Structure 1
Amino acid sequence: MPRLPFYKGKYKLRYEMILINTLIAVVPFLLAVSAFYFYYMDNVKKRVDESVDLLFSQVSGRLEEYFDSIDDLSRIAFFNHSLQRTYLEGANKSAYDWDQFMAMKERIYPFLHMNASVKDIHLLDLSAGMPLVRSYSTGAYALKPAMYDFLQGMDRRELASGRLIFSGAFVSNGETMNEYLAVRRVRAIEEGRSYLNEMFLGVLVLDRGRINEIAADIGLNDRSVMQIIDREGRVVTSTNEPFALHDQDAASEPLDGDVRRVNGIPYLIKTSPVSKVDWQLVLYIDQEHLYREEQFIKWAVPVLVALIIAAVVVAALGFNLKMTLPIKKITDALHRVAAGDFNARLRFTYSNEITAVQDHFNHMTSEVERLTSHLLNTQQQVYEMELEKKQFQLSGLRSQINAHFLYNTLQAIRGMAVNEERDRIHRLIERLADYFRYVTKDEEFVPLREELSFIRGYVDMVRLRYGRQISFRDRVPEELEHAPILKMTLQPMIENAIFHGLERTRERGRIFLVAEAHEGELRIRVGDNGSGMPKERLLALRHALYGGAAAAASDGSGIGLRNVQKRIQLYCGAEYGLTVKSWHNRGTVVVLKLPLRAGEYAAASRREQA
C-alpha cells in the first residue's frame, strides 16, 4: 500500500490510455447497439403502421362500397316517380285508409329485395310528431321504440342536407340489436305545387350481418380484435364479441396509440375514421405478442455489452503496458517536427515492432525538410507568375476599354469638323480631356461618387457628340457614396444602354441608375427604355459573359460588358460580376454586383502594383 502513489504516478499515462481505448471501443459499440435497437423498434412500428393502414384501407374500402350500395338503393326507392305519386295521393286524403297502405306497400316491396341486408323500408311523416300521422312499409319489420327516439332526436340541419345518415347500433335490454337504420329526408321530384317540398322521412332498416361479414373477412389472428364503433361510442360489430362486451364498460373512448388492458392483457390501440358515416375503426393489438422479439434483445444486449467491456479492458491493459514508452518518444519527436525542427531523430536502445518505425521516421523528417524547402520556393515562383499574368490581363482589358471609347469619340469629332461645329468640338474635347484625366488615374478602386460624377460627364459628352436628348437619373443612398468600386465599370454599361438600347427607339431615351446594399454586397442596376434584345441575342450575350466565350454578340454589344465582367472577377472572384435581363421592345437592365468590402481588394491591388 505505501507504494501505491509511486505506481499511480508511474503508470498514469497507461491508466489514461486504458480508459481512453476502452471508451473508444465501448462507446461506438454502445451507440451501434442503441442505434440498432431503436432502428429495429422503429421498423417494428413502421411495419405495424403499414399493416394497420393496409387493413384499415381494405375494411374502409369494403364498407364504403357497401354504404354506397345502400345510398344508391335509397335514391332509387325514395325518388321513384310512381312511389312519390302514390304517396302524394294519400297525403291529399283526409283519412289514413287501408287501400292507400296496400298501394304504398306494393310500390315499396320491389325495392326490398334489391339488397340482402335491407330488412324493411319505411316512409314516415314526422311533421306532426308522435304518434305518427302516416307510416308506410312492407310490414316486414316494425321499428322499435329506441329507433323512434333516434329519429325524433335527429339534427334538423343534418337532415336538411339531403344525404343518407346512418344511425349506429341500438341497445335493447342490455344487448346490441342486429338492426340499424339509414335515414334520408326526401323531397318531391314531381312537377306541380309540391315540387321540391319535403315529403317524408325515408328509413331503411338494415341488418348488421353484412358489416359483421366485412369485419370477419379481414383474417385477424387470435391476439388481435377489430371493432367498428358508432358516433355514440357503441360497438356496431366486433371480431371478438366477449372482448367487445367487456370493453363497452371502459371509462374513456379509445385513442390512437393508447395502450389499454382488457382481460389483463395490454393492447396497443390503432384507430381510423370510416368515411361516409361518422363511425370509427378500432384495432386492438396484443402488445406482448407484438414485441416478443424485443424482449429477447432487451436482455441479450446488457449481457453482451458486459462481456465485451471486460474483454476490451483486459486487452487494453496488456497492450498499453508495452506501448507507453515508445509512443511517448515518438510523440516528443513529432512535437519537435510540428514545431519546425526537422532535425529531430528517433534513437531506441532496444528493438520491437514499434521501435521499427525509427528508420522510417528519420527518413521521413529528412524528406519533409527537403520537400518543404522545395515547396516554398515553388510557391514563390507560382505566386510571382500569377501576379504578372493578372497584371498583364488587367492592363489589356483597360486598354481595350480605352481604345474602344477613343475610337468612337474621334469619329464623332471628325464628323463635327466636317460640319464646322467649332463650339461643340471645343466642349467635346474638354469632356474628352476630363474623361482621360479620370481614366489615367493610378487607382483601380475609386469611391462610387467619383464614378457617378464621371458618368454624368460621359452622358453629357454623348449628348454633344450625337445631339440626342437622353434623360439620365441616378439614385444612390448617401451611405453608399463612399463605397469603393472598380474604376470604369459603369461607363461600358451606360455606353451599351445608349448605343445598343436607345439607338433603335424613337421615344426619348431614358437611362436610370440605382445603387443599394444587400447582404454585404453593393448592387447597381442600370436600365433603359430602349428596344431590348431578342431572346437569341440575349442568350448569346449571357454565354459570352458566363460561358467564357471568346466572341460577343454579332453587333459588338457585349465587348465592353465582357471586359467589365473579366475585371470584376479577376479582382473580386467568380461569384461577382454582371447579370443581364432584357425584354424585346421594352428595355434592358444590367445588374452589377460587387462586395461592399471591395476596399480590401483595392488594398491588395495597391500592394501588387507596389
Structure 2
Amino acid sequence: MKGKHRTKLHLNFKTKLVLMISLFNISLVLCVSFFNYLWHSQQLTRQTINQTQQIIEQTGVNIDNYIDELYRLTLSPYYNDEIMEEIASSPRTPEEILTKKRTIETFLSSVMTLPRDEVLRVYILTDDDIYSYTRTPYQMEDYDSYKEAAWYKEALSTNNPIYIPIHSEKAFGERRTQIFSVARRLRSKENNNYILGVIKVDANYTGIKSICDKVKLENQGALFVINENEEVVYAKNDLADSSLLYELALQTKNGDFSCYINREKYIVNVTTLQESGLRIIAIHSYNNLTSRAKANLSRTVFLAFICIVASIGIFILFIRRFLHPLYHIIDSMKIVQTGDLTVQVPIEQNDEIGYLASSFNTMTSNLKNVIDRNSELIKKVYEARYLHKVSQYDALCSQIKPHFLYNTLNTISLLIKCGESRDAILCIEDLSRFLRGIMNTDKEIPLKEELSLVSSYLNLQKIRYGDRLSYDLKIEKNTEPVLIPALSLQPLAENTIKHCCEASRTPVAITITSVIQKDQLLIRVADNGPGIPEAILQRLITGLDKKDEENNLEASIGLINVHRRLRLRFGPASGLQITSCAEGTSVTLVIPLLISKEEGILCTEHLL
C-alpha cells in the first residue's frame, strides 16, 4: 500500500517577503500593545490598591474616633455636680430613693440618649441599685447578674474605659441585634479612692454603618466590617458574587494581597482597628480593575491592524514594480531547467538586478559551451572507470578457485593413498556440494549458503586434521538472508588452518559468529591459536589499507583478497578488521546494510 503524501505549500519570493514583513509588524504591534496593557493595568491596579488602602484606613480612623466619642460620653456625669452628688448619696426613705432614681434616669435620658440615635441603652450600676434609660423593650442580658459579668469587674479594676466587642442581644424582639458597649468606672470627685459605680452605654452599629456608607469604592468593589468573632457588622457588596466573603479566608493580615475565589482573581485590602478589634476588608475584582485597560488594548490593536493592512497594500504595489525584472530572470531560469541554454534575458536596468541579468546571460552561454565540450568526455571516463572496477572484481574472484581446489584435491589424494576410502568419499561429497554451490550462484550469495560452503570446506579439513580441528557456527537468524560475496569466509577459515593447524600440533577451535549492529553485518572468524606476531600483524594491517592494487593482488589471495573484494563491492565502510593476541586471532568481516522500512528486510548496499 502506498503511503499518503502531504501536499507542501510552495510560496514565491514576493509572498514570503510580504508575509515576513506582515508577521513582523503584527508581532511588533501585539508585543507593544500587550506590554503596554500589562504596564497600564499594573499601574491602575496599584493605584486603586493604594487608594483603597488609604480609604479603609481613614474609615478605621473615623470608626475609632466614633468609639472615642462614646468614651467621652461616659464622662458626662463628671460635668454635672448634682448627678455626682445623687450617685454618691445614700437615701433612706422610699421618697428619697425614688427621687434619686428619677434624677439620674432623667439625666441619662436627656444627656446620654437624645443627641445620639445609635445609643440604645445607658446604665449606671452601683452596688445597691441600677439606674437606666433604654429605647428597647429588653434590658441587657446580664441585667440581673451584672456584678458577676467580666466586663463589670474589669471596669471596676481600671481607670481607663473598656470596650465590649460587638455581640448579639435581644433588643426589639426575638431577632437578635448586633450591639457593642463601652463602660467606665465612676469615682467620687471629693475622694478619688471612693468608687461610686460603673456607667455603661449600649449602642448598635448604625453609627459605624453611617461612616461606612460614606465610603465610595471604584470599579464596583465590596466593603465588609467584621468583629473579633468573625461576625459581619457591615456589608456592602457591588460584585456579582454575593457569597464572596464566605469564600474568602477570614484570617487575613493587614495590607493588600491577591487571591482567587471561584477561579476569579480578586484584590483584597485589610486594616484592623487596634481599639475595637474590628477588621475592615475591601475587595475588588481584578477583571473590573483592568476592564478599561483591556478596552484600551482592543482599540489600540484594532487601529494598529488598520494601519498594517494599509501599509501592506502599499508595500505589495511597490514590490510588484520593484521585483518585475527579477521575476523575468526567474522565468528564464525555469526555461534553462528544461535544457534550453539559448535563452537570454533583456537588460532593463543598470542596477544590481540589471547586473544579475547580464551575468545570467553570460553564464548560460558559457555553460552551454562547457557542457557541449565535456559531456562526451565525462561519459567516456565514467564508462572506463566502471569497466575497470568490474574487471578488477572478476579477476579477484577468479583467483580464489584454483587455490582452493589445489588444497582440497591434495587432501583427497592423501586420504586415498592412506587407504581411508570412506573419508575420501565424504571429502568428495563435500567437495561436490561446495563446487555445486559455487557453480549455481552468481558473485553474491546469501550468508546461509556461504556458511554451507564453509561447513563443507571445514569438514574436508577436519578429516585431514582429525581431533586437532573443531569448529562452531553461532549465526543469528536475521543475518542468514543477507547477500555477501561468494567465498568471503572460506579464505578466512583456510588462513586460520594454515597458520594454526599446520604450524602447531595444538588442537585448534574455530568459531564463526554473525550479528547486526548499527546497520552493519559483522561476521567474525575467531580461533584459539598462538596469535600473529606484532610485526607481522602491523605489516598485514598496512597491506590491507595499501592503495597499490597490483601489490595487493600479488601479496595474498587470502585476507587481502577478501578485503579488496569487499572494498570494491561495498565501498570504504566495508572490509576486514584483524585483532590478535596470545590467546588467538579474530578476523571480522564488515558489510554495510540498508534497512527497507516498507518491506522490513535487510539488504546489502551495492556500489557497482
How does the TM-score come out when normalised to structure 2?
Answer: 0.43
How does the TM-score come out when normalised to structure 1?
Answer: 0.43
Q: Which is greater in Rg?
A: 2
